[in-house]
Homo-oligomer: A and B are copies of this chain.
Amino acid sequence: MKSPEVFMVRGSPVSKTPNGLPLYRQLAEDLKSLMHKGTLRGGDRMPSIRKLTQAQKVSPATVMQAYSVLENEGLIEAKPKSGFYVKIQTTRLPPVPSVTQPSRIPQRVQVCELVERMYRDSNQGFEVDLGAACPDPELMPSERLFRIMSSEARKLGPKANTYSFPPGYEKFRREIARRSLECGVEISPDEVVVTAGAVESIHLAFTVIAKPGGIVAIETPTYFNALQSIQNLGMKALEIATSPEGGISLAGLEKALQKYKLAGCFVMSNAQNPTGTTMPDEKKKALVELLAKYRVPLIEDDVNGDIYFGASRPIVCKAFDKSGTVILCNSYSKTISPGFRVGWIIPGAYQRQVENLKFITTAGSSLLLQATLAEFLRNGGYDRHLRGLRKHFFEQVNSMSQSIARYFPAGTRITRPQGGTVLWIELPESIDSISLYERALKNGISICPGPLFSGGKGQFKNFIRIACGYQHTPKVDKALRTLGQLAGGSIVGGEKNGVPNGI
């Protein structure tokens, strides 16, 4: 297997033998072997065509052909103006989790007790936190934020320490309105209401649409905070089948709409929590139109919208809202300021109700924190920060997927997130995720058990969510290995799930 040509890819010399294959095929095979070895990982930029041409002493056309082969095989992807990248290695991962068929009957939600247990445990701290979908504090631009905060405090003087009643600080709302253009929403700053984070936004939204005993259609699995609000307001959840690949079933939703008078519908259209799925634009449009036809309000949580792994910021359902019945909830807690407790809501037709409710329940949000975020968004380099953050999260999600594939028992299934910071994992049916949670906790590791993500009893009992917000350090990798063992994986050496180690 000696090669007359030697080229460098990321510093490692790779040999190529003329074995009858056309030159471009051989080149493609060599590059694949680098991927298998882990020299080229998901998210890495491929060598530029010019570089490879020089190193391989082949023509640019040969390199292009080789890249075309890899692209066809789904191993690399072109990004506009940026070159080729190694794709998240979906073909090397076990299959995605199955679509569960939820009950067709609206159900009382019973999730609060489990969530309570989770957050109380979290107050004790973990050695390795794979539970909370929080970004690593080290990845947040905190120093810059605090510098801006000091300067805003000086600039505003005593005014910085005054009440800021709904809808909130005008400069901050202006920045939000400006940035909303990027996700397809054209609004004036007056249409934005500042909140104490997306959690409050969602709770306000549910409260204004709430009817005692009212029925809310939800994705299943879905974000547990929405479930808590539904339970807390005495409403019922009607779970709609949701595919980790395609999102909520519109056919299923339409059937529900025909059968029940729904009080509302809740979705995360971008990088859904926990599946990481982003609805295609067309589907978003169809969803909004379907709900509008039945005059059912849509609560949309876009908290992961800025953490996309594709080429551009996905738009939101709200972009297709003609009747004002889409209530968009968001915050910068995943990207800048988890500790600020500042978010916002674009309530459409419900604006007045939301503002009043915000006034009644928390009066307003800190003016200084709003001013700080406004200034950061305007002059702090948010976009540049986001580019780095997206790369981080993409790499972490990717490399943790690989480890899970390696360490977890056969039969494990993993999502292919299109954004966000979490993985949704289906374990073999025999595994009880709550018991796994307890055993993990004893090892200093936190995870989110599947039943958190459903209102129905016993759903997702063999699922877990793994948060990838923290860097994939050797310590985190060891925790994943421990988890795999606890879940019955026998690992180390050998192949798992038909996947060679290291991929």
User: Which single member of B116, B203, B339, B366 contacts A356 (CB below 8 Å)?
Assistant: B116
Known: A119-B165, A146-B160. A362 touches B137 (CB 8 A): no
How many angstroms between the C-alpha atoms of A123 and B203 in the bound complex? 24
Question: How far in angstroms is the closest Cβ of chain B from A285?
Answer: 31
Residue on B with the closest CB to A197? B363
Chain A residues numbered 86-136 whose CB sits less than 8 Å from any CB in chain B: 112, 115-116, 119, 122-123, 132, 134
Residue on B with the closest CB to A152? B146
A341 in contact with B364 (CB, 8 Å): yes
How many angstroms between the C-alpha atoms of A364 and B337 in the bound complex? 13
A165 in contact with B123 (CB, 8 Å): yes
Known: A203-B361, A360-B228, A363-B200. A161 touches B338 (CB 8 A): yes
Q: Is A275 an interface residue (CB 8 A)?
A: no
25 A–B contact pairs at CB < 8 A? A112-B360, A116-B356, A119-B165, A119-B359, A132-B163, A134-B162, A142-B158, A146-B368, A149-B149, A161-B337, A162-B338, A162-B339, A163-B333, A196-B341, A196-B365, A197-B362, A199-B360, A199-B361, A199-B363, A200-B361, A200-B362, A203-B361, A341-B364, A341-B365, A369-B369
Residues of B within 8 A of A166 (CB): 119
A232 in contact with B357 (CB, 8 Å): yes
Q: Is A153 an interface residue (CB 8 A)?
A: yes
Q: Is A367 an interface residue (CB 8 A)?
A: yes
Residues of B within 8 A of A158 (CB): 137-138, 140, 142
Q: Is A159 an interface residue (CB 8 A)?
A: yes
Q: Is A486 an interface residue (CB 8 A)?
A: no
Q: Is A225 an interface residue (CB 8 A)?
A: yes
Q: Is A13 an interface residue (CB 8 A)?
A: no
Interface centre among A140, A154, A338, A357 (most CB of B within 10 A): A338
- Which 8 A-B residue pairs are closest in the complex by CB-CB distance? A137-B158, A161-B339, A146-B153, A199-B363, A142-B161, A196-B362, A228-B360, A200-B362
Chain B proximity mask over A150-181: 1 for CB below 8 Å, otherwise 0: 10011001111111111000000000000000
Residues of B within 8 A of A196 (CB): 196, 341, 362-363, 365
Residue on B with the closest CB to A142? B161
Q: Is A212 an interface residue (CB 8 A)?
A: yes
Q: Is A340 an interface residue (CB 8 A)?
A: yes
A161 in contact with B149 (CB, 8 Å): no
Interface of A, secondary structure class, is helix
Known: A137-B159, A196-B196. A164 touches B356 (CB 8 A): no
A115 in contact with B359 (CB, 8 Å): yes
How many angstroms between the C-alpha atoms of A123 and B338 in the bound complex? 28
Residue on B with the closest CB to A158? B137
Residues of B within 8 A of A256 (CB): none
A339 in contact with B368 (CB, 8 Å): yes
A362 in contact with B341 (CB, 8 Å): yes
Residues of B within 8 A of A199 (CB): 360-363
A338 in contact with B137 (CB, 8 Å): no
How many angstroms between the C-alpha atoms of A229 and B119 in the bound complex? 27
Residues of B within 8 A of A153 (CB): 142, 146, 149
How many angstroms between the C-alpha atoms of A115 and B368 in the bound complex? 25
Question: How far in angstroms is the closest Cβ of chain B from A212?
Answer: 7
Q: A232-B360, A362-B362 are in contact. List 18 more A-B contacts (CB 8 A).
A: A112-B356, A134-B162, A137-B161, A137-B162, A140-B158, A142-B160, A146-B154, A149-B149, A149-B150, A150-B150, A161-B337, A161-B340, A162-B338, A163-B339, A197-B363, A199-B361, A228-B359, A341-B363
How many angstroms between the C-alpha atoms of A70 and B233 in the bound complex? 60
A366 in contact with B369 (CB, 8 Å): yes
Chain B proximity mask over A315-354: 1 for CB below 8 Å, otherwise 0: 0000000000000000001000111110000000000100
How many angstroms between the C-alpha atoms of A365 and B342 in the bound complex? 10
Residue on B with the closest CB to A339? B161
Q: Is A386 an interface residue (CB 8 A)?
A: no
How many angstroms between the C-alpha atoms of A356 and B138 in the bound complex? 28
B341 in contact with A229 (CB, 8 Å): no
User: Which single member of B161, B232, B338 contacts A163 (CB below 8 Å)?
Assistant: B338
Q: Is A491 an interface residue (CB 8 A)?
A: no
Known: A142-B158, A142-B160. A341 touches B360 (CB 8 A): no
